[in-house]
Structure 1
């Protein structure tokens, strides 16, 4: 069930009778009750894609995560302010979680700590995507610290981010042990040059939503 319109969510969920395994919710949920309904009626979810949430839904998301104990793949269109608590809930209640995608927002020190190699959440992840985020170099290095060795992470992408340079040697060195490591298009400052806006799609792809 991909990108359902709000008015269809309740009907589709009801018809599925608790068997929905893949769900992408649309932007601008009409009411907080829609997210509550999904949490209550979709215990079999394996993949969930959430839009940018209202402040109320953002604050309540950590309390809803325990409903999705089979979750293996989570996509967040915007990093929630409650991310550290969300990460803790995912680590505790979602043992199959392998993929986390966060595709806009500002990664703060507490968020980086929740994604660091020593965190309970990272002990489960195989793939971590932070494309188009505002990701300061210090936070990126904290996330990458400890990669290699016994870490299970096989894929890490932070493409088209703002906050670090994609040619930074220390960053590249930290990510060298990851099977797929891609930070292409990232830059320290959001100042596109002439080549980047010359008729290709780089400008669209490099948009960063900083919250």
Structure 2
């Protein structure tokens, strides 16, 4: 009977092919500590093309944080330090970066990521302080390959952000955002993002006028999700126009909220709690 090879003796390319399917927890505190060959394979930049920070618990008392500190023999753990570690290991090859929405990454973290990961195609932004939102257009302009952007709430700099995407991100096709979608916002999307194929404004304030403007003006739109919105009803006109979009989702949307309140000045924070 021939001796079978152990996992540690697998071809390096095979190991890399397997490890690039793993999440960041496994890549940082799992496979590198199994054996030398696994550690070497885990450092291949191909394993770090998707930097998904969302599922990790970065609180000081979390199991993940404690294991990381133990494995790397460090006495202090920081989100910034961890993010820089995984960004550096990508060696500029990362194409997707997902920040945790609620943990509170800083604008410094975002600018560092834009420098270390210039080829990002998909970015999920964290919640930012109001004073930091002014920097979003400058930040987005650095990602020349950007195709998809998810942002938790519409920033005050939204119009300038769209302008910078138009000028710098020729492959941009998708936006996911929550907020109050005003006429100027819809016009900017129609005029400056003509190639957009995916829009998601679930749980936003979206009047019918802006909804129809987007449906008529975004000629290449393939998926449009406006579920649980306030500002329009799925009447015959809306549904008829929706037939021209491959995937149109508007379940749960209504003209007024439960108190009958409806205004163009609707605060996005108000929409959050509906």
TM-score, normalised to structure 2, is 0.64
Count of residue correspondences: 188
Of 179, 183, 199 in structure 2, the residue corresponding to residue 105 of structure 1 is 179
- 1:208 equivalent in structure 2: 271
**1:138-160 per-position Cα deviation (integer Å, ceiling 9, x unaligned):** 2212222345xxx2111111011
**CA drift at 1:96:** 1.2
- 1:67 equivalent in structure 2: 142
Of 94, 117, 126 in structure 1, the residue corresponding to residue 169 of structure 2 is 94
The answer to whether 1:152 aligns with 2:208 is no
**CA drift at 1:40:** 1.5
**CA drift at 1:171:** 1.9
Does the CA-based 8 Å contact 1:99-1:127 persist in structure 2? yes
Say which structure is richer in helix: 2
**CA drift at 1:101:** 1.1
Task: Write out aligned runs for 1:149-188 (5 A).
Answer: 151-166=219-234, 168-188=235-255
TM-score, normalised to structure 1, is 0.81
Does the CA-based 8 Å contact 2:106-2:128 persist in structure 1? no
User: Residues 17 and 64 (structure 1 numbering): CA distance in 2 closer, same or farther, change over 3 Å?
Assistant: same
State the SS of the aligned residue for 1:67: coil
**CA drift at 1:31:** 2.8
Which protein, 1 or 2, shows the higher relative CO under an 8 Å CA cutoff with sep ≥ 6? Answer: 1
**CA drift at 1:30:** 4.2
**Which runs of no fewer than 5 residues in structure 2 stay unpaired?**
1-50, 59-78, 260-269
**Which runs of no fewer than 5 residues in structure 1 stay unpaired?**
193-206
Decide which structure has the larger Cα Rg and report it: 2
Distance in 2, matches of 1:61 and 1:146, equals: 25
**CA drift at 1:28:** 4.2
Superposition RMSD in Å: 2.0
State the SS of the aligned residue for 2:176: strand
